[in-house]
Chain A
Amino acid sequence: MGRVAGKKLFSIMALCAMVGLLLLPIAVSLPSLAMGADAPDAVKKDGEAKVEKGRDVYYKTEGIAIGAPAPKTVDGPRDYPRYNFESRVLLWFANQQHLYYGSFVLAVPIFCMVIEFMGVVTKDKAMAKRYDQLAYDFIKISLTAYSLTAILGGILIFTFLTLYPAFFGYLSGIFRPVMHIYALMFVAESGTLYIYYYGWDKMKEGFLKWIHLSMSVILNVIGTLLMFLANSWIGFMMSPAGVDEQGRFLGNIWHVIHTALWNPLNVHRILGNMAFGGGVVAAYAAYKFLASKTDEDRAHYDWMGYIAMALGVAFLIPLPFAGYWLMREVYAYRQQMGITLMGGLLAWLFIIQATMIGILFLSTNYYLWQALGRMRGAEKYQRYIKYLVFVLCCGYLVFITPHTIVMTPAELKAMGGQQHPVLGNYGVMSAKNGGINVIITTTILSFVWYMRGNKVSTVSWSKFGNIFMGIFFGCAYVNIIWLAIYGYYIPANVRVGLSVPQVATTLSCLFFMFALNTAMMKGAKQMGAIEWGKISVRSQYALIMLATAFTWMMGLMGYIRSSVRLFWHVNEIMRDNSPWAYTHTVGFAANMISFNVLFFWVSILFVFWLGSLGLKKAPVEAKAGVPGAAPQPAGGH
């Protein structure tokens, strides 16, 4: 007994020591932070005459200008050294690949944490083992990807240094302490990840398992902070703060980090990374499913794909709302930036984005309908699917209708003006808010059907529950559509606010209906088991489509966010005077995004292949992950 207590004490001490060591880089880098504040004093000592004050372009506070002004670059080898190729495209490629891998390795440990936690708290031992093995499979995939992320990060920095030295010099001058903290935290992240991965077997039982789980929390906290810091750079480039009009740093590093768009970007990127990570793992599972030769393997990868898809979609549902908040903040920061994005130069890219969002939701719904096929008793829902298809597609068609229509001059004449009396109404925000909320609510309905697919409620109030649920969804649709129409009759500032009740309606469906359904299905009569692996191959292609659409959309949104600065390196502070300070055509951008997507998928297939090599070396361990009689997963049911 004493020995066990000692072991626990030792484990806690070891965990505390590790946390302390991991936080050390931050403590070490604190003096760098403080230097910003000390510097003015140093300047003062040299003489009052040298002190120059500046006004923060965003916060409007006064401060002592301690940084150099943003360089006024000229096109030439000094500021823009180059190969015989467009430097911007090279940077685009390096940046996008780093972001893909970065997102993946930030998202997967969060999944691991959730799945490992589910394994720890599940009472069913067989199930717990399966969850644990799944979490281990996930982290194994991300380990090779982690190395690639670091390599791509290095390539990105070298690309910046060699092709955009003046700009990178200025940015690193402003973010000097932040970049140091970032680098040190990367070390901490690596250390934690390796201990977490290699310590899996050593810490698989009892109290040590909780210590292991705690490490996954630490890992994710560090990862999230890393992303926040990287976001501060792009936030600064889009909506600079903490500098004066000349771009001189005013001594307050928090202002430089905490720009107008930092928080919306943080929220949007966390959710986006999670949805993307879920999509990639689901595609991995789909690929393995399609390549499986045994029923056991098919069952395992079917289950893995389902869990990854469910986690990804859980974060996909709030993603449009986070995006909406980001756009709102963009408009609030600079009206012309908002108009360039959504009504002007980049508006067509937003139509493509809407199309991709629609594809994500259509794929999800399609997968869920296909998944009903592996449940006995779910046949009763099949005949209603066509109505869901209709509702989904009506929402989708409204959502993708462009405001600026591509047309020939002859079509323009025939239409009698730039605006179409029907399509013009679908092309504006009020209708689109209605469209996307209808799509999400329908997806929630599909999930509810899936969750009760093979069950019949046995609670005494099941009839009342079903009627209530039907009325609730009906009212939700009416409310969403009515608010979308009402939006045309009220001032724009009120109309923007209408999105709140629409979102609240959708989220009410999500939370209340899931909760009600769970309560109704407690102790429900099973019509038949879920036959994992007995799902159509079309469903797996839907998962691959989901992942590809995620990847493409990430590339597209990154391009939109970056190109909205137009001819600025740092918006309104540092002008881009390279020959490439123009906006690419939609066609070129689409080709470039497709190339990035293709490269990512080819390279990640290599990562998957490496993972499978490890699997072959440890067949006994791999066998443990294969489900036996395919019990039902928690969470899904």
Chain B
Amino acid sequence: MKALMLVAALIGAAGIVLLAGMVVGIVPSNTVRLIEGYMPVQVIAELTLFVAGFTGLSYMMAAMGMVFPRFWQGILFWAFILLYLKFRIYPPIPFSVRAMYGTVSLVAIFMWVSANEEDWNKFKQPIMNVLDAKTGGKRLLRYAYLVILPILIGGFSYNSMVPKSEEPIELRTVHPAPPASTKVHGKTYTLQTSQNPYRTNLEGKYDQDYSNAMTVEQGMGRLMKPNANPWDKDAQGYLKYVREGGEIFYQNCHFCHGDNLNGRGLHAFAFNPIPANFTDPGTIAQLQETFIFWRVSKGGIGLPNEGFPWASVMPPWEQHLTVDEIWKVVLFEYWHTGYYPRTWD
């Protein structure tokens, strides 16, 4: 048990040193790389390791007769979480989410330190000592708090109320609800029931299982499946349509949406927000193909009211592409990202 705790304590100490380096800027945030596609699990795994590490540190210190006060354990753990969120995770997390995470962490720490009477008494003891102020030092501290706390609260209030020159926060609806149907080149498409006419098997019938089996592998690299190369001269049916969609994509779309469909094209950073990243699981992977068909056809100008503030400069591609070309581009986007369009069956 002691050996296990020692290992945990070493991990905890190493973690603290690394994070401290990141906070002061000596150690770059990507020293221990966050790997694309695995980041979400990696972050939770790292936090778990830290908790194990801190448990080990606490255990070892107690074993050496240096009991770390519960009050400071709580305060420092909260500070650790805030610093981790701010300096470890990149790209930076917007303040609104960090505020949510910070509040939850604070509640969690309260639940931990007050889970039983003994712990709660230990935790609040330093606070009670200051309030009771039985020694000169504590009395001084109490007066200091009496002065500092109102100033701090006043400062926060002033800061939140003072008019700021920065742009206001936008609560942008990323996926506005689509209409029930859309009219493109004179034909009406019902979004709930329409299908991509090129998602077909070799017999020319709509077949999502067939096309799903031919999309690229997800994860790092996004590798093509064996015998599923759209750029093979002999490719027929679905793969041929993917190739045609790819050609249209690279002629028209990649300037903004990028070679890898990750929203980082040549012109991407001229826009705010930058174009949609199709490789993110929160975009096309969540939507029906008909939704993409509608958005591509109508562009930013065709966004509904709830798409406020209509922050999209995508052209209405129905003015430049045929219906067939739009369907083929949509087909290519799903193939390239390895995602499957949403269906309801």
Question: B137 to chain A: which residues have CB within 8 Å?
Answer: none
Q: How far is the CA of A557 from the CA of B180 in the complex (A)?
A: 24
Q: Is the CB of A405 within 8 A of B177?
A: no
With A336-B180, A407-B96, A418-B174 given, is the CB distance from A489 to B272 under 8 Å?
no
Q: Is the CB of B91 within 8 A of A335?
A: no
Identify the interface centre among B115, B118, B264: most chain A CB within 10 Å of its CB. Answer: B115
Identify the interface centre among B51, B101, B171: most chain A CB within 10 Å of its CB. Answer: B171
Q: How far is the CA of A492 from the CA of B286 in the complex (A)?
A: 7
**A423–chain B nearest beta-carbon distance, Å:** 6
With A403-B282, A411-B94 given, is the CB distance from A337 to B177 under 8 Å?
yes
The size of the chain B interface, using a CB distance under 8 A, is 78
**A401–chain B nearest beta-carbon distance, Å:** 7
Q: Is the CB of B341 within 8 A of A408?
A: no
Q: Is the CB of B342 within 8 A of A393?
A: no
With A345-B176, A419-B280, A492-B285 given, is the CB distance from A425 to B39 under 8 Å?
yes
Q: Is the CB of A389 within 8 A of B115?
A: yes
Question: B108 to chain A: which residues have CB within 8 Å?
Answer: 389-390, 392-393
| Interface segment, one of B18-26, B145-153, B162-170 | B162-170
Q: Does A347 contact B (CB under 8 A)?
A: yes
Q: Is the CB of B94 within 8 A of A406?
A: yes
Q: Is the CB of B174 within 8 A of A340?
A: no
Contact of B273 among A343, A412, A420, A493 (CB under 8 A): A412
Q: Is the CB of B96 within 8 A of A406?
A: yes
Q: Does A620 contact B (CB under 8 A)?
A: no
Q: How far is the CA of A336 from the CA of B218 in the complex (A)?
A: 28
| Interface segment, one of B5-13, B41-49, B226-234 | B41-49
| Residue of chain A at shortest CB distance from B92 | A414
| Residue of chain A at shortest CB distance from B175 | A343
**A379–chain B nearest beta-carbon distance, Å:** 8
**B133–chain A nearest beta-carbon distance, Å:** 25
Q: How far is the CA of A415 from the CA of B263 in the complex (A)?
A: 12
**A545–chain B nearest beta-carbon distance, Å:** 11
Q: Is the CB of A428 within 8 A of B282?
A: yes
Q: Is the CB of A488 within 8 A of B218?
A: yes
Contact of A421 among B36, B41, B47, B172 (CB under 8 A): B36
Report A530-566 CB contacts with B as 1/0, cut-off 8 Å. 0000001010000000000000000000000000000
**B310–chain A nearest beta-carbon distance, Å:** 14
| Residue of chain B at shortest CB distance from A492 | B342
Q: Is the CB of B277 within 8 A of A419?
A: yes
Q: Is the CB of A420 within 8 A of B111?
A: no
Question: B91 to chain A: which residues have CB within 8 Å?
Answer: 414-416, 420-421
With A335-B192, A431-B40, A492-B286 given, is the CB distance from A405 to B96 under 8 Å?
yes
Contact of A419 among B115, B179, B212, B282 (CB under 8 A): B282
Q: Does A410 contact B (CB under 8 A)?
A: yes
Contact of A412 among B89, B100, B272 (CB under 8 A): B272
Contact of A373 among B55, B116, B177, B263 (CB under 8 A): B116
Identify the interface centre among B272, B306, B345: most chain A CB within 10 Å of its CB. Answer: B306
With A343-B175, A373-B117, A418-B174 given, is the CB distance from A492 to B343 under 8 Å?
yes
Question: A347 to chain B: which residues have CB within 8 Å?
Answer: 173
Q: Is the CB of B41 within 8 A of A485?
A: yes
Which residues 176-195 of B have a CB within 8 angstroms of A?
176-180, 191-192
Question: B118 to chain A: which residues have CB within 8 Å?
Answer: 382
Q: How far is the CA of A409 from the CA of B309 in the complex (A)?
A: 12
Identify the interface centre among B104, B208, B274, B344: most chain A CB within 10 Å of its CB. Answer: B104
Contact of B40 among A344, A387, A425, A429 (CB under 8 A): A425
Q: Does B29 contact A (CB under 8 A)?
A: no
Q: How far is the CA of A389 from the CA of B114 in the complex (A)?
A: 11
Give me the interface of B with A, judged by CB distance under 8 Å: 34, 36, 39-41, 43-44, 47-48, 51, 55, 89, 91-97, 100-101, 104-105, 107-108, 111-112, 114-120, 166-180, 191-192, 208, 212, 218-219, 263-264, 272-277, 280-283, 285-286, 288, 291, 306, 340-345
16 pairs, CB–CB < 8 Å, chain A vs chain B: A335-B192, A339-B178, A343-B174, A343-B177, A345-B173, A355-B100, A389-B108, A411-B92, A415-B91, A415-B92, A417-B263, A418-B277, A420-B94, A424-B282, A428-B285, A430-B281
* Given A409-B170, A425-B39, 5 additional A-B pairs, CB 8 A: A372-B116, A373-B117, A394-B44, A419-B283, A491-B342
List the 8 closest A-B pairs by CB distance, nearest first.
Answer: A491-B340, A407-B94, A492-B342, A340-B177, A336-B177, A425-B40, A419-B280, A343-B175
Give me the interface of A with B, judged by CB distance under 8 Å: 331-332, 334-337, 339-340, 343-345, 347-348, 355, 358, 362, 365-366, 369-370, 372-373, 379, 382, 385-387, 389-390, 392-394, 396-398, 400-431, 485, 488-493, 536, 538, 583, 586
